[in-house]
Amino acid sequence: MRLVARAVSHLGALVLLATLWLLSAAAQAQGIESVLSPGKVVQSHAKVEADCKSCHVKFDRAAQDRLCSDCHKDIAADVRDKSGFHGRKLATQPSACRDCHTDHKGRNARIVELDVKAFDHTGLADWSLRGAHIKTECKSCHLPGKKWREAPQDCLSCHKKDDTHKGTLGPKCADCHTETDWKKTTFDHDKTRFALKDKHADAKCGDCHRDSNYRETPRTCIGCHRKDDEQLIKGRRGHQGQYGEKCETCHTAKAWKPSTFNHDVDTKYLLKGKHKPLECKACHTGHLYKQPVKSDCLSCHLKDDKHKGTLGKDCASCHNERGWKDQGKFDHDKTKFPLLGKHVEAECKACHKSQVFNEAPKDCIGCHEKDDKHDKTLGRDCGACHGERDWKTTKGKFDHDKTQFPLRNGHAVPKLECKACHKSLKDMRKTPLDCLSCHKKDDKHEGQLGARCESCHTDKTWKTTIGFDHAKTRFPLTGRHITTVCKDCHTTGARFKDAPMDCWSCHKKADKHKQTLGTACESCHNTRSWGLWNFDHDRQTSYRLEGPHAKVACITCHARPAPAGKKVAPTGNTCIACHRKDDVHDGAFGNRCEQCHVVDKWKRIINRGMSPPPVLPATPSVTPPAKPPAGTNRSPS
């Protein structure tokens, strides 16, 4: 038992000695590392300078990056998310922390050297510089004493002094302003409670929003146009509040003048005759609501009463709104001379030369002697041919159908005056009977088709033709062309062969493509309806439309007018030809977008991790690309 006890005692002593020796060796090694330190670390690492293992692991240099990430958690998060400067750079160029950041060069050493002039802000930062930001100095956003990553990304942090709204519109400056020019806004006023229409669309912001106060701007007309209602403008004084404050009752934003107030609909007093063109103030001399206008005639026309009240106040019993001198309600038919035809419109004084009305003559020649163009060769019985409806229209005993030229249709009385054919009213029998003698000035053919007008025209109407079959010409009429009037195509009158035979010459105004798709309209449209068109881009061209391209409007890609003799203007067959503005890489990855992007969805990336393709010179091609192989999911986009 004593031997066993002694052996155990010796074993414990050996263990104790071994432990002390290991501790001494560790302390000695730590002391050696301190002695062999290459120099002092920077000030930010000074607190861990004595503890080498905070940054180093023996015999494992790769572990140093892990220790860096443990302290710099924000950078570690960027690397993990492939965002920020470190995340973007290490995603394409993996390297160790010590390759860029060196230490042990003294407390004031700079362990970060960044070439700000050559820095790719678009490719290596989360904030792409656009517009005016491209020329902005770094220190304008990256303030001294702050980390580069701490630069704000909201507009107001940098542009607070430029905020003329004084915070009333919130911090989202980008809703209205752009990076190109702070003073140019893209605000859509139609999404507010006051959509800008007509003349309001041309108004400057400051006209309504005084002192950049946008939320308290009035939305009523009188709120902005009170001065137009009260002040003297261009020599004319406004309503002076006489018509109230509901300007929109009469005025619109399309034009302040003329007024849109409809007196016949909006009031109980219809404006007729001479009342219709009168200005409002002619009758409304007081306040519209406090001093209403009376509706009787004498209230306004007291100065016009030539009878001086002898016939009472019922002016309307004789006069009407067409004219004060028009005795509209007097019934002349109850006299010995009923008024018929043009006599109804004649003024009283035309026949009644004096106040003795019975002295007026009752036969035609008594008043119309100066109108007798026959120089009395046909006697005094004017009523035998002429009637009260029109002196130039004949009626009565004379029957033109008993002559060699019966009057039919367009020649019939009263559509045609006698003098139209009878140039001399004193010699009416020598009037020619052929069409051209009277209608030479109407011959739009300029004599090319001869003198037999009746072969195509009728006496019903000169514009109606008979017997002409357009199907026998070089241009048969089909579809909507059948109902089209001749002059729409034959713009040179009767020179029918001058009419063009191609669609474009007649349908220029209907070309919504602005010549970007050429002049061969028939390749898509037909004569049944201009709005019905059919064009199969996949079969009729060598450029197959896939994915979202199938829904894009033609003019989106074909934006330039077609050259002479060409169907369409040449378009590039590369993605970048149309999507240069979508290239967030600013050309850094060349123009072969299809290596990473797909036509179905631009934001879905393929071939991640590949080296950037070489930058090729942009050479637009005029030859459309060949159809892609079956099953491929790539297409120029």
What is d(CA 159, CA 131) in angstroms, rounded to the nearest whole number? 15
Round the average pLDDT of the chain to a whole number and report it: 78
Query: Which residue, among 590, 567, 565, has the nearest Cα to 580 in the 3D structure?
Result: 590
What type of residue is 634?
A: R
Which phi and psi angles does 489 have, rounded to 5°? Answer: -105, -40
174 inside domain? no
Give tens-digit pLDDT for 120-158.
888 888 888 888 888 888 888 888 888 888 888 888 888
Q: In sequence order, which residues have a C-beta less than 8 Å from that of residue 64 and are 6 or more positions away? A: 55, 56, 57, 96, 97, 98
Identify the band that residue 14 occupies on the pLDDT scale cut at 50, 70 and 90. low
Give the pLDDT confidence score for residue 636 in this predicted structure: 31
Rg (CA), the chain: 49
DSSP secondary structure letters along 600-621: S-TT-B-STTPPPPP-------
Distance, in Å, from the CA atom of 593 to the CA atom of 589, rounded to the nearest integer, reads 8
Number of structural domains found in the chain: 3
Would you state the structure tokens that stand for residue 29, as one six-digit string?
């090694």
pLDDT at res. 8 = 42
Decide if 107 is inside a domain: no
pLDDT one-digit tens code per residue, 251-303? 888 887 777 888 888 888 888 888 888 888 788 877 776 677 777 888 888 88
pLDDT value at position 357?
A: 58
Residue 68 in 3-state DSSP? helix
Q: Which of 341, 333, 337 is nearest to 357 (CA)?
A: 337
**Boundary residue ending a domain (453, 479, 500):** 453
Please give the backbone phi and psi of residue 68, each rounded to the nearest 5 degrees, phi first.
-60, -45
**Which contacts (CB < 8 Å, 24+ apart) does range 215-221 have?**
215/168, 215/169, 219/193, 219/194, 220/245, 221/245, 221/246, 221/247, 221/248, 221/251
Q: Could you give the CA distance from residue 113 to residue 124 in angstroms, rounded to a whole number?
A: 15
Q: In terms of DSSP H, where are the helices of 256-390?
A: 263-266, 298-301, 348-351, 364-368
Whether the predicted pLDDT of 15 surpasses 80 = no
- Could you give the CA distance from residue 450 to residue 457 in angstroms, rounded to a whole number? 13
- Residue 141 DSSP one-character state: T
CB burial readout 102-136, b (16+ within 10 A) else e: ebeeeeeeebeeeeeeeeebebebeeebeeeeeee
DSSP string, 576-599: HHHHGGG-TTTTTT-S-GGGTB-S
Q: Highest mean pLDDT: which of 141-155, 223-237, 288-302, 396-410? A: 141-155
* Three-state SS at 319: strand
Q: SS3 breakdown of the chain: % helix, strand, coil, rounded to 5?
A: 35, 5, 60
The pLDDT assigned to 476 comes to 92
Q: Are 522 and 475 in contact (CB under 8 A)?
A: no
Q: Hunting for tokens 């179905």 — which residue is that?
A: 600
Domain boundary among 453, 486, 518: 453
User: Rounded CA gap, 73 and 75, in Å?
Assistant: 5
Q: Is the dihedral of CA 34, 37, 40, 41 positive or negative?
A: negative
Q: How far apart are CA 313 and CA 294, in angstroms?
A: 14
Q: Is the pLDDT of residue 71 over 80?
A: yes
| Rounded CA separation 76/82 (Å) | 10
pLDDT of residue 621: 40
pLDDT at site 598: 87
pLDDT at 7: 45
Share above pLDDT 90 across residues of the chain, in percent, rounded to a whole number:
1
Does any domain span residue 430? yes
Query: Would you say residue 490 lies in a domain?
Result: no
At 459-515, the pLDDT tens digits run 888 777 777 788 878 889 999 999 888 888 888 777 777 888 888 888 888 888 888
pLDDT higher at 4 or 95: 95
Q: Which pLDDT belongs to residue 188?
A: 83
Measured CA to CA in angstroms, residue 46 lies from 49, 55, 96, 438 at distances of 5, 12, 22, 117
* Residue 637: band (very low, low, confident or very high) from pLDDT cuts 50, 70, 90: very low
pLDDT, position 308: 66
The pLDDT value given to residue 592: 85
**For residue 25, what pLDDT is reported?**
42
Residue 634 lies in a domain: yes
Q: Is the distance from CB of 600 to CB of 633 less than 8 angstroms?
A: yes
Residue 133 counted as domain residue: no
Is the pLDDT score of 33 beyond 80? no
Residue 30 is classified by DSSP as: H
Which residues have CB under 8 Å from 625's CB, separation 6+? 542, 543, 573, 636
Cα angle value 307/310/316 (rounded, 5°): 70
Domain ranges, residue 624: 536-637
Distances (CA, A) of 485 to 215, 455, 531: 57, 20, 20
| Side chain identity, residue 526 | N
Of the residues 30, 51, 70, the one at which a domain ends: 70
Instruction: Quote the Cα angle for 370-371-375, to 5°.
Output: 80
Residue at 458 is within a domain: no
Domain assignment present for residue 171? The answer is no
Q: The tokens of 408 are what?
A: 């039919």
Among positive and negative, which fits the CA dihedral 293, 294, 297, 299? negative
